[in-house]
Structure 1
Amino acid sequence: MDLSEHSTLRPPNKDCLPFSFTATSTGYYRLWLINMVLTVLTLGIYSAWAKVRTQKYLLGHTHFAGGRFDYHGRPWAILKGRLIMLAALLAWGLSESMPLLHGLIALLAVITAPWLAVQAMRFRLANTSWNQMRFRFDGKPARAYLTYAKSWLLLLFTLGLAWPWATLIKRRFLTQHSALGQARLAQQNCAGRLYLAALGGIFGALLYGIVLLLLGWLLRQGITGSGLADNILQQWGSLQTLFSLLSRAAGMAWLLASAGFWRALMTRALLNHTTLMLNGQSQRIEWWISSRMLLGLHFSNALALLLSLGLAWPWVRVRTLRAQFSQLALFSQQDLAQLQTSLHELDDARGDELADLLGLDLGW
């Protein structure tokens, strides 16, 4: 069944407030193609405007509890942030022959990471809305430094073995300071689930590897055992050249599928332990997509991207979002559409003005 065209049935529950995603592959493909052409023609400058158009399209087709999401980012602010990132990467690359300067740049990146995380979250949430209400992030840089220091020290003293707790320390800071009006997110402890998700990711990577090796062996046997070998020798010079190219392609497909599956398992564990606090009551978020579905989804996505040389990206992105949102819901006893809040306009919020001034939307 094509995941891009179907919507999985949700559990019948009157308290279930479902998400839905209504974008189409055709509509997104037109937008993506125009963005790509203009970005190339402007040597990358248009990429900031492309991001705004993409976010507005995708969020505009995301619905929840009778409301629609929207994006309000400013292209010039995004372009500023990307220029800062490019300048930092250029300085990093040019300083390789100067160890002292190289080390200072690396140290500066570590020192500013918590502050950048706060400003980026503030910018991102202030420019995202649901039902005409702006999200906001009210975390403070001082608290971010303390949080990140705890996380890094925990990783250091446990040689990385305590990464689930380190992840949760940072995740709690980011979620508990994310709000929409009176509603605020909270992250519950799920270290054990994160370990299980990691094991599942390893299992998925092994399974992908076995399947790709089997497909490669069957392809090799089919080529060498048929008359195709002579034609290939004329085109490629040797079978080894072709098999080497196919091996690299299979390795890339394995990496794409494994990374996507791993990230989805981690996200599922975290989301299923995230709650929405409103008026002293807790509403739980549930994402009940199965591991089997995720395995097939990311494997087929990787193959589609590989075989199309990346041209299938709009189809891959839309089908993935439709599959994810069709099985995501908030279970609540309250009507979130009746949230009483004032709009947090970007131009009227001091912290959001700072984020816009600095242009700290550093994501691509």
Structure 2
Amino acid sequence: MSSQEDFEFRGSAGEWFGIWIVNLLLSILTLGIYSAWAKVRSNKYFYQNTWVAGRNFDYHATGKQILIGRLIIVGVFFVYAFLSAVAPPLAVVIALCVLVAFPYLILRSLMFKARNSSWGNVRFNFDGEVGDAYRIFLGIPILLVLTLYTTVPYFSRASQRFGINGHSLGKTRFHFDSTIGPFYKAFLCAVAVVLVGAGAFALYLLPKMQMLIYHQADMMPEQIQVIMVTLIGIGYFLLITCGVLAGIVYTTMMRNHVYSQTTLGDRQHGFQSTISVGSMLWIVITNALVVIGSLGLMLPWAQVRYHRYLAQNTALLPNGTLEEFTGEIISDSNAIGDAYADIEGIDLDIGF
């Protein structure tokens, strides 16, 4: 295997702040219409400033494509809201139709994002099967409910297989496969963090609640109410913190494992991710504190810092020459799935 090619992010917080503030102001002034073009400018900046092996990424979608998709999706939601008020049975029908269309919209989102992305002038593509999308995103969630979510690792592995194996760089395909063990290891570590948080919540709250009940005869009702709200608020903050930590533990372990099991092409070019739970936790917490303390003005700095950390801890492991790729430009103007994914917060892209 040839030498390691590290990813690199060459953007700066100052440059990104200039783009971000213009995007924000124009989106506000146009009542959100410009946000479609803002997304394009944002993606272009982060893609074009991310490099590996002497080539950078690029984003090719247009604001018009994204705006049309968003208008259609927003229109569907407005119709649903209107029918909910005047004809609830019809609103239920629309909700069921959206639910049934959900896996297809994920598929369209992945196609749109892949076909409008490139590395070194070679376009990505996604050609996952519709049937697989329905099996994974409609069928497996039913299994999750029936198994009380103990099968979350199976869903994670299936969605990663679907997302990665459906991608290609030009005509060169990505491949991912893995045993279920590492997924359960990450899942159980995350569950352990949540259980520790729940235990700490109980140890913190129960004795104080008992003391409050014991002394309630000596206290005014208003005092009891304030103490109760304070105790519960602190307890929930502890639980939320543990939830965030559990999410960081899971996503960090999964990213490192998924990259290590992903290859590209017959030569099996490899990938590597070396992010750590401690570093991710430090970045997330300090970013949040800085953004809150600056009333949001330091958000661009936090985004660049996070993106740079991910890039610095990602590597391509070439197995021979990288000049083998042949590309084909596949146009895809259908941004409806992408717009729906934006609204729902869905993102299944390979994490380049």
After TM superposition, the score normalised by the length of structure 1 is 0.75
Partner of 2:62: 74
Partner of 1:265: 252
Moved more, 15-24 or 90-99: 90-99
Moved more, 169-178 or 121-130: 169-178
Q: Which of the numbers 76, 90, 106 marks the counterpart of 1:88?
A: 76
Partner of 2:215: none
Moved more, 306-315 or 129-138: 306-315
Aligned residue-pair number = 317
CA distance in 2, matches of 1:335, 1:143: 33
Which runs of at least 4 in structure 1 moved beyond 6 Å after TM superposition? 205-211, 246-253
TM-superposed CA distance for 1:85, in Å, is: 2.6
CA distance in 1, matches of 2:195, 2:134: 38
Q: Which runs of 5+ in 1 are unaligned?
A: 1-12, 212-238, 347-351
Q: Are 1:296 and 2:282 counterparts?
A: yes
After superposition, give the CA deviation of every residue in 1:71-96 in whole Å (9 maximum; x if it has no partner).
00111110112222322333344444
**Measured at CA, do residues 319 and 156 of structure 1 come closer, stay the same or move farther in structure 2, by a change above 3 Å?**
same
Partner of 1:17: 5
TM-superposed CA distance for 1:127, in Å, is: 0.5
After superposition, give the CA deviation of every residue in 1:288-322 in whole Å (9 maximum; x if it has no partner).
11211112111112212222222221111100011
Equivalent pair of 1:139/1:173 in contact (CA under 8 Å): yes
Q: Which of the numbers 313, 318, 321 marks the counterpart of 1:335?
A: 321
Q: Which of the numbers 174, 180, 185 marks the counterpart of 1:196?
A: 185
Q: Which runs of 5+ in 2 are unaligned?
A: 201-225, 343-352
TM-superposed CA distance for 1:29, in Å, is: 0.8
Output aligned runs, 1:1-364, within 5 Å. Answer: 14-97=2-85, 98-202=87-191, 254=241, 257-258=244-245, 261-262=248-249, 264-265=251-252, 267-278=254-265, 280-336=266-322, 338-346=323-331, 352-353=332-333, 355=334, 360-364=338-342
Identity %: 29
The one-letter code of the counterpart of 1:275 is T
Partner of 1:230: none
TM-superposed CA distance for 1:273, in Å, is: 4.4
**Measured at CA, do residues 152 and 202 of structure 1 come closer, stay the same or move farther in structure 2, by a change above 3 Å?**
closer
TM-superposed CA distance for 1:268, in Å, is: 1.6
Equivalent pair of 1:268/1:287 in contact (CA under 8 Å): yes
CA distance in 2, matches of 1:25, 1:71: 20
CA distance in 1, matches of 2:308, 2:29: 31
**Measured at CA, do residues 359 and 191 of structure 1 come closer, stay the same or move farther in structure 2, by a change above 3 Å?**
closer
TM-superposed CA distance for 1:329, in Å, is: 0.8
**Measured at CA, do residues 303 and 77 of structure 1 come closer, stay the same or move farther in structure 2, by a change above 3 Å?**
same
Q: RMSD value over aligned CA atoms?
A: 3.4
CA distance in 1, matches of 2:84, 2:255: 39
Could you say what secondary structure the match of 1:80 adopts?
A: helix
**Measured at CA, do residues 307 and 256 of structure 1 come closer, stay the same or move farther in structure 2, by a change above 3 Å?**
farther
